Structure 1
Amino acid sequence: MAHSQPPESDSGEPRRQRRIQSIEVGMRVLRALTEQRRPLPLKELAQLAGMPPGKAHPYLVSFMAAGMVKQSPLTGHYELGPAALQMGLAALQQLDPLTEASQEAALLAARADLSVALAVWGHLGPTVVRLDEPRYPLHVNLRVGTVMSVFNTITGRVFAAYLPEPMVRTMLEDEHRRVVGGANGAFDSPEVSRMLAEIRATGMGRGLSMPQPGVNTLCAPVFDAAGRIALVMTMIGPHGVFDAEIDGPAGRMLREHAGNVSRRLGHDGQTTA
C-alpha cells in the first residue's frame, strides 16, 4: 500500500505539515511522567518538562479530565492515569517484533555492508525469518526457514542465555537426541554456564569461524516490553573483513539497531528469563 506524501509547494519542496504547538508542549509533561515512572510534585514535574509550574498546571488539569493523568489526594503528586495505561497497552498489542525489526535489519545490512539475519524461537529452536544480504552476498548455508542449533551457533547461544532454563534444557536435550542420540547433560557443564554468563555480561554473542569456517558472527538480543527475548539480530561476514568485535564499529552498530527495536517494543532495560 502506498504511503501518502506531504503536498509539495510550488518550488517542488514538501510543504511543512500544520502542527498544533500546544499539544507538543503538553506532551513534554506526559513524557516527563513516563520517563520518571513515579508520582511527581508539580514543581519537579514542571522542571523536568522545561516550563514554569504555572504553565504546566493547566496542561495537567486537562490531562486529568481526559484520564491521562491522575493526582494523589494525599500527596498532591501527579502520575499517569488509566487512559494512559489503556493507550500504552493498545500500542503494545499492535506491535509486531518482526515488523519492528525488519527495517532496522535492512538499515544495518546496508550500513555495515554485511549479512544481517533475524531469528525467532520456533518449535524446533532458533529459526531464521529474515535475511538481508550486502552488495556482495556471502555464500553461507543460511536462508529463511533455517533452524539453527541451540549451542552450536552463536544465535542459538544468545537465545539460551535469555530464555527460561527449562525451555532451553528441553530443546537442547531434544537436539542432542536427534543429532547424537542418547542422554545429554551438556546444559549443566561449567563451560556452558560460563558461556551463557559471558553473553549476559556483554549483552552480545561473538563467534569466529563458527559454525562455518572463515565466517564470523555477532549476535544481539531484542527484548519486548516484559523484558523477554523476542528475537536475535545476527551480523555475518567473512573472517578477513569482519572481525566481529563486540566493542568495535560493527558491534556498536549492531547494539544500536537492536536497541532501537527493543525500545520500540517498550523495553526499559530490564530483562527476565
Structure 2
Amino acid sequence: MELEKDTRRGIQSIEVGGALLQTLVRFGTPMMLKDLAREAGMPPAKAHPYLVSFGKLGLIEQDSVTGLYQLGSFALQMGLTALHELDAIKVASEQAAMLSLAIQQNVALAVWGNHGPTVVRIQECNRIVHINMRAGSVMSLLDSATGRVFAAYLPAHLTAELQQQELAHKPAAERPDVAAMLAEVRAHGMARAVGYPLAGINALSAPVFDNGGQLALVITTLGPAAEFDPDWHGTLAQQLRGCAANVSTLLGYRGNA
C-alpha cells in the first residue's frame, strides 16, 4: 500500500539541517565535517552554520582536539525522554496489525507476567480462524512457542521456578532436553510449535528487545496447520522475524536481533 505524500507546509531549513542529525544517528560514531556533510548531501560550507546552531542548542558537540562532530547532551536527553515515553505494547500492536494483514494469520503479543508468558493482545486477520486463545491467556513456558522464547531470552532466575514446576508435572520419559530446545530457539532467533500444544495449530514466535537489549515482549503468529507453514526459513518465518526486528528498532534496540 502506497503511503500518501505529506503535503503539510514545513520549514525547509530545519529539514535540511535535520539531515545532519539523521546522519550522525545513522552512523552512530563521531564524524569529520567533510564526511558528515557528504553523507547528508550538502557541501561543508553549507553544513557548518547548521552545526554551529545545533551546537548552541546542545544537539551536537565538537571535540576540541579531534574536531569530530557527535550528538550532544541535549540530543541524549531527548532520546532518553522519547524512550521513557514509548509504550512497547502500542508500538508492537501497530506492527502486529500490519503483519496480520500481510500474512493473513492471527498475531498475538505476550509479556512476562506474574504467572509466566501472558497474552496481552491478539490481532485477528480478515478471515475466520478458530483458535482458543484470548488476551489474558497464560502460555506454557516449555510447551508453547511463545513460552520457549521467554525461556530462551529471559534471565534464568526469572524462569527457573516455572520451568521446574512444568517439568515436575511431566512423566520422566516425556521431559524434554531443555538446554537443547532453548539452544535451537537461539540458533533460529525464534521458536515454533507444530500441532502442539494446540492440536491442528502451528505457531511461530519471535523476541522483541528494548533499548537496553532486554526481552520486552514476544510476537507470535499462529494458524491452522493446513494453512500455516512452520518452516524456519519459510515466508511466514521471514516476515515474523522482520516484524520483530522492526519493533525492536522502534523501541531503541541497536543490536542484531
Query: Per the alignment, in what secondary structure is the counterpart of residue 19 of structure 1?
Result: coil
Instruction: Give the AA of the match of 2:244.
Output: A
Quote the Cα distance in structure 2 between the aligned partners of 1:15 and 1:58: 27
1:146 counterpart (134, 137, 148): 137
Paired position in structure 2 for 1:83: 74
1:108 counterpart (99, 108, 111): 99
- Whether the 8 Å CA contact 1:115–1:137 is kept in 2: the answer is no
Superposition pairs for residues 1-273 of structure 1, below 5 Å?
16-176=7-167, 179=169, 191-270=177-256
Instruction: Give the AA of the match of 1:203.
Output: G
Query: Per the alignment, in what secondary structure is the counterpart of residue 131 of structure 2?
Result: coil
Structure 1 unmatched runs, 5+: 1-12
Q: TM-score, normalised by structure 1?
A: 0.86
Quote the Cα distance in structure 1 between the aligned partners of 2:10 and 2:19: 15
- Residue 171 of structure 1, CA deviation: 2.6
Quote the Cα distance in structure 1 between the aligned partners of 2:48 and 2:232: 47
Quote the Cα distance in structure 2 between the aligned partners of 1:25 and 1:215: 51
Q: TM-score, normalised by structure 2?
A: 0.91
Quote the Cα distance in structure 2 between the aligned partners of 1:25 and 1:201: 43
- Residue 139 of structure 1, CA deviation: 2.3
Paired residues in the alignment total 252
Question: 1:163-222: CA deviations, max 9, x gaps?
Answer: 111212133124445x469x9xx7xx8x32222122122211122112112110011111
- Whether the 8 Å CA contact 1:227–1:270 is kept in 2: the answer is no
Quote the Cα distance in structure 1 between the aligned partners of 2:117 and 2:44: 52
Quote the Cα distance in structure 2 between the aligned partners of 1:203 and 1:157: 11
Structure 2 unmatched runs, 5+: none
- Whether the 8 Å CA contact 1:33–1:79 is kept in 2: the answer is yes
Instruction: Give the AA of the match of 1:216.
Output: N
Query: Per the alignment, in what secondary structure is the counterpart of residue 240 of structure 1?
Result: helix
- Residue 159 of structure 1, CA deviation: 1.0
Quote the Cα distance in structure 2 between the aligned partners of 1:268 and 1:225: 7
- Whether the 8 Å CA contact 2:131–2:223 is kept in 1: the answer is no
Quote the Cα distance in structure 2 between the aligned partners of 1:14 and 1:64: 32
Instruction: Give the AA of the match of 1:160.
Output: A
Question: 1:148-174: CA deviations, max 9, x gaps?
Answer: 111011100011111111212133124
RMSD over equivalenced CA pairs, Å:
2.1
